[in-house]
Chains A and B, each alone.
Chain A
Amino acid sequence: MTFSPELEAKFADLVTHYPEGRQRAALIPMLMFGQEEVGSITPEFMEEVGKRLGLNTMQVDEVVGYYSMLHKKAMGKYHVQVCTNVACLLRGGAELYDHACHKLGLGHKEVSADGLISLEEVECMGACSWAPAVQVNYDFHHEVTTDQLDTILEGLKK
């Protein structure tokens, strides 16, 4: 598998950030950046990253399986993440998530048939004081009401 020039540049820079011989440290950032580009953590991608960092596929697999933001299965183009952890729960996070489920017809970590939208109930994402919070890909939405969520979701479909 080949990397895009951007990912290639990112990789080249990243490995210089860590002490000599400890380039494995670049693994998780590479997986995160690569996932954005590739769409998911594919076997080819794992193999390629592993090869560059001197790891076999199993070693990469061990890491991929551990982190909840790394997905082997592609999520939607827009990954809608609704927090239901305590601070959000207290301000309607659970209802918001239910609303999203119904609205999208999707459950936890499910992807719409057209691959456009996926939904995930997530743990606290650091927006507690502005709860309930939703993240679409990396964009935060604070103090989201069900109406606002509808607007956000409508916006994605355009």
Chain B
Amino acid sequence: MKLFNEPSPLETKIISFRFGLENSASIDTYLANDGYKALRKALEMTPDDIINEVKASNLRGRGGAGFPTGMKWSFVPRASEKPKYIVVNADESEPGTCKDRLLIQHDPHQLIEGCLLGALAVGAKKGWIYIRGEYNYLIHIMDKAIAEAYNNGYLGKNICGSNFEFDLYTHTGAGAYECGEESALLESLEGKRGVPRIRPPFPAVSGAFQSPTLLNNVETFSSVPAILRMGGQAYADLGVPKSGGTRLVCMSGHVNKPGVYEVPLGFPLMKFVNEIGGGVWKGRALKAIIPGGSSSPLLKAEECDIPMDYDSIAKAGSMLGSGGLMVMDETTDMVKVALRIMRFYQHESCGWCIPCREGTTWLKKMLQRVSDGHGQTRDIDLIGDLAQNMMGRTFCPLGDAAAMPTIAIVKKYRNEFEEYVARNPFASPELVSIA
């Protein structure tokens, strides 16, 4: 399948190097390009050895939370009587994120191999790839790859002539951002409403069908074959301390060359935008960047001179999250951005808990009103305050995801809200208390 954007010479292609090869999704192409080598290697290793390699790689979860993957793998109780499962999070719904789609589209066998390595590490015999409903075409690609893997002895019984067995299936979602949250995903996988579970227990201990489950993002699993091939340390060395390797960053918004590019962790953010992305479009100036999907607080242009790794971005007050990097030029209307973000979270709130369900709804209504030109000065403070009141109080992180960007936008671009309010002929400056 043709590439959606041209690769950049500045990329470090570790997991995307097969993208663009002829028939890249086929097992033949895969086998001709290091495919299933890591699996053969891993079959000679003990589960602990595999996990130690992953730990050494400093790989951190690519789904959003950035949890150290090796550590997560070591949490699965291998001695448990229950069956263990692999679940791949291919729900990819965080606005700004479109990388897992490419990993499945161009290199499904890499993901299968990643799953097999996870299965070897934790003793799983079954796994599911939970693919968001909108990615229907990927299910066909994935199913085809899975069938090829079965036919070539990479899935099913006696994999590669060993006594290792593993079955892998695709499973479709049906339109719900919340199902990207791991425990809601598991509920959905079980045929229920995608409402998150009370944790603990975490999926590693009680996940799919109440059994120990290794749940990772597509990119996380897809990174493991390379780690085993090149060795954990070599992979880690590509990145920075505590954030090993490379990751796919999805650049969108006001840049000349938007696209998905693979760069090492710690790659300078501005260099990424200017050199890989060709800079802000239409010769305009940069206003702000959302570095890791719509949940991550946006960074003002002057805050963007930082390396792209988990810790550096956290230090700047945001998150690397899912790698959804959105660039905004000087003309961007921040009130509209805040409203659109809140509309999204309001639409996607599962409704389970009060602060998120009511908070997102209230905020959406207020932002809509301000954006429609009916705002009051006190609304600006109230928006910030309500978002703050959601923070850390919801049942799952969706509430925080809605609150964080809102707080940041109101704080950093208060003047724009004030301008909207100033345009309201009925704006009254002070609050009249009727109490």
Contact = CB atoms under 8 A, between A and B. Distances in A.
A and B touch in the complex (CB under 8 A): yes
A129 B95 contact: no
B290 A86 contact: yes
B209 A22 contact: yes
Contacts of A140: 137
Chain A: interface size category: 35 or more
A89 B97 contact: no
Contacts of A138: 134, 136-137
A87 B194 contact: no
Interface string B156-196: 00000000000001011111110000000000111111100
Given A53-B191, A86-B337, A128 B326 contact: yes
A28 B187 CA distance: 11
Contacts of B336: 89
B254 interface: yes
Q: With a 10 A CB-CB cut-off, give which of A19, A25, A27, A86 has the most chain B CB atoms.
A: A86
Interface in A41-88: 53, 62-63, 66-70, 84-87
Contacts of A25: 171, 189-191, 209
A38 to B, nearest CB: 15
B332 interface: yes
A142 B95 contact: no
A85 B175 contact: no
A155 B67 CA distance: 46
B174 A128 contact: no
B328 A32 contact: no
Given A84-B340, A86-B290, A126 B134 contact: yes
B258 interface: yes
B373 to A, nearest CB: 17
Chain B: interface size category: 35 or more
Contacts of B259: 129-130
Contact of A70 (B83, B175, B328, B332): B175
7 contacts: A28-B188, A29-B172, A66-B350, A68-B176, A85-B294, A123-B95, A128-B98
Nearest to B260: A129
Nearest to B347: A123
A152 to B, nearest CB: 17
Interface of B is mostly: mixed
B134 A86 contact: no
B344 A126 contact: no
Contact of A66 (B83, B194, B254, B332): B194
Contacts of B101: 126-127
Interface stretch (B41-49, B245-253, B415-423): B245-253
Contacts of B132: 126
Interface string A26-38: 1111011000000
Given A85-B95, A85-B294, A123-B347, A129 B340 contact: no
A128 B101 CA distance: 11
Q: With a 10 A CB-CB cut-off, give which of B132, B134, B135, B189 has the most chain A CB atoms.
A: B134
Given A125-B134, A128-B250, A24 B190 contact: yes
A17 B344 contact: no
A100 to B, nearest CB: 17
A124 B93 contact: yes
A22 B186 CA distance: 13
A31 B172 CA distance: 10
Contacts of A127: 98, 101
B4 A17 contact: no
Given A86-B96, A87-B252, A124-B344, 6 more contacts: A25-B171, A69-B134, A85-B294, A85-B344, A124-B294, A129-B4
B4 A32 contact: no
B332 to A, nearest CB: 7
A52 B317 CA distance: 50
Contacts of A131: 252-253, 258
Contacts of B328: 90
A28 to B, nearest CB: 5
A146 interface: no
A91 B190 contact: no
A73 to B, nearest CB: 15
A128 B258 CA distance: 9
A139 B140 CA distance: 13
B20 interface: no
